[in-house]
Structure 1
Amino acid sequence: MNGLQCPQQGLLWRWKQHGAAVTPVTRITMETSTLTKQGQRFLTKLTTSAAAADNLIRRFVQGSPKSVVLTTLSHLLSPSTSHPHLSSIALPLYGRATQAPWFTWNSTTVAELAALLHELGHRAQSEALISEAISKLQSRHRDLVVFYGRLAQAHSKRKSETGFDAAHGYLDDVLRTSESAHVKRRAYEFMVSGLCCMDRPGEAEELVIGAEDGLGLKPSGFELKSIVHGYGRLGLFGDMRRVVEEMEKRGFVLDTVCCNMVVSAYGVHGEHAEMVRWLRRMRDLGVPFSVRTYNSVSNCCPRVLRMVGGMSELALSIEELEEGLEGGEGMVVRELLGCGGILEEVMVWETAEVKVDLHGFHLGGAYLVVLVWLEEMWRRLNGLSCGVPAEVTVVCGLGNHSRVFGESKVRVLVQKMMVKMGSPLKVDRKNNGCFVAKGKAVQNWLCQMKKAQSASM
Structure 2
Amino acid sequence: MMTGTLQLALAFSADLLHHHHHRRPLFLPWCALSKKGHRFFTSLAAAAGDSAAANRLIRKFVASSSKSDALNALSHLISSNTTHFHLSSLVLPMYRRIAETPWFNWNPKLVASVIAYLDKQGQPEEAEALISESVQKLGFQERDVALFYCDLIDSYSKQRSRIGVFESYARLKQLFSDSSSSLSRRAYETIICSLCSVDLPRDAENMVEEMTISGFKPSAFEFRSLVSGYGRLGLFTDMRRVLRKMEDAGYCLDTICSNMVLSSFGAHSELSEMASWLRKMKDSNISFSIRTYNSVMNSCPTITSLLKDLKFVPLSMEDLKGRLQKDETLLVEQLIGSSVLMDALKWCPSEGKLDLHGMHLATAYLIMLQWVQVLRSRFSAGNWVIPTEFRVICGSGKHSSVRGESPVKALVKQMMVRMKSPMKIDRNNVGCFVGRGKAVRDWLCCIHYDL
TM score, norm. by length of structure 1: 0.88
Are the equivalent residues in 1 in contact too, given 2:293–2:363 (CA < 8 A)?
yes
Are the equivalent residues in 1 in contact too, given 2:195–2:201 (CA < 8 A)?
yes
Are the equivalent residues in 2 in contact too, given 1:178–1:184 (CA < 8 A)?
no
CA RMSD of aligned residues (A): 1.9
Partner SS state of residue 435, structure 1: strand
Are the equivalent residues in 2 in contact too, given 1:33–1:74 (CA < 8 A)?
no
TM score, norm. by length of structure 2: 0.89
1:321-400 aligned at under 5 Å gives the runs 321-337=320-336, 339-383=337-381, 385-400=383-398
What is the match of residue 3 of structure 1?
none
**Which letter does structure 1 place at the counterpart of 2:434?**
V
> How far apart are the structure 2 equivalents of 1:353 and 1:191?
48
Give, in angstroms, the shift of residue 68 of structure 1: 1.6
Are the equivalent residues in 2 in contact too, given 1:276–1:332 (CA < 8 A)?
yes
Query: In the TM superposition, what whole-angstrom CA distance separates every residue of 1:437-456 from its partner, at most 9, and x where no partner exists?
Result: 1111111111123x5328xx
Segments of 4+ in structure 1 off by > 4 A? none
What is the match of residue 271 of structure 1?
270
> How far apart are the structure 1 equivalents of 2:178 and 2:109?
22
What is the match of residue 7 of structure 1?
none
Matched, 1:452 2:441: no
Are the equivalent residues in 1 in contact too, given 2:348–2:385 (CA < 8 A)?
no
Query: In the TM superposition, what whole-angstrom CA distance separates every residue of 1:135-191 from its partner, at most 9, and x where no partner exists?
Result: 3336443333332222112211222122121112234446x8453322221111111
Does the C-alpha gap of structure 1 residues 298 and 312 become closer, same or farther in structure 2, counting only changes over 3 Å?
Answer: farther
What is the match of residue 198 of structure 1?
198
Query: In the TM superposition, what whole-angstrom CA distance separates every residue of 1:264-304 from its partner, at most 9, and x where no partner exists?
Result: 11111111111111111111222111111111111111110
What is the match of residue 76 of structure 1?
77
Matched, 1:227 2:229: no
Q: Sequence identity, in percent?
A: 45
> How far apart are the structure 2 equivalents of 1:83 and 1:384?
56
Does the C-alpha gap of structure 1 residues 116 and 327 become closer, same or farther in structure 2, counting only changes over 3 Å?
Answer: same
Partner SS state of residue 353, structure 2: strand
Query: In the TM superposition, what whole-angstrom CA distance separates every residue of 1:377-420 from its partner, at most 9, and x where no partner exists?
Result: 22222226221111111111011111221111110011111111
What is the match of residue 208 of structure 1?
208
Matched, 1:290 2:261: no
> How far apart are the structure 2 equivalents of 1:168 and 1:197?
14
> How far apart are the structure 1 equivalents of 2:383 and 2:185?
53
What is the match of residue 108 of structure 1?
109
Does the C-alpha gap of structure 1 residues 212 and 415 become closer, same or farther in structure 2, counting only changes over 3 Å?
Answer: same
**Which letter does structure 2 place at the counterpart of 1:98?**
A
Are the equivalent residues in 2 in contact too, given 1:353–1:389 (CA < 8 A)?
yes
Are the equivalent residues in 2 in contact too, given 1:32–1:403 (CA < 8 A)?
no
**Which letter does structure 2 place at the counterpart of 1:203?**
D
Does the C-alpha gap of structure 1 residues 94 and 336 become closer, same or farther in structure 2, counting only changes over 3 Å?
Answer: same
Partner SS state of residue 430, structure 2: coil
1:424-443 aligned at under 5 Å gives the runs 424-443=422-441
> How far apart are the structure 2 equivalents of 1:166 and 1:33?
31
What is the match of residue 280 of structure 2?
281
Are the equivalent residues in 1 in contact too, given 2:310–2:411 (CA < 8 A)?
no
> How far apart are the structure 2 equivalents of 1:355 and 1:40?
34
What is the match of residue 14 of structure 1?
none
1:74-153 aligned at under 5 Å gives the runs 74-137=75-138, 139-153=140-154
Partner SS state of residue 432, structure 1: strand
Corresponding pairs, count? 420
Does the C-alpha gap of structure 1 residues 346 and 82 become closer, same or farther in structure 2, counting only changes over 3 Å?
Answer: farther
What is the match of residue 42 of structure 2?
44
Are the equivalent residues in 2 in contact too, given 1:118–1:126 (CA < 8 A)?
yes
> How far apart are the structure 1 equivalents of 2:162 and 2:386?
59
Partner SS state of residue 450, structure 2: helix
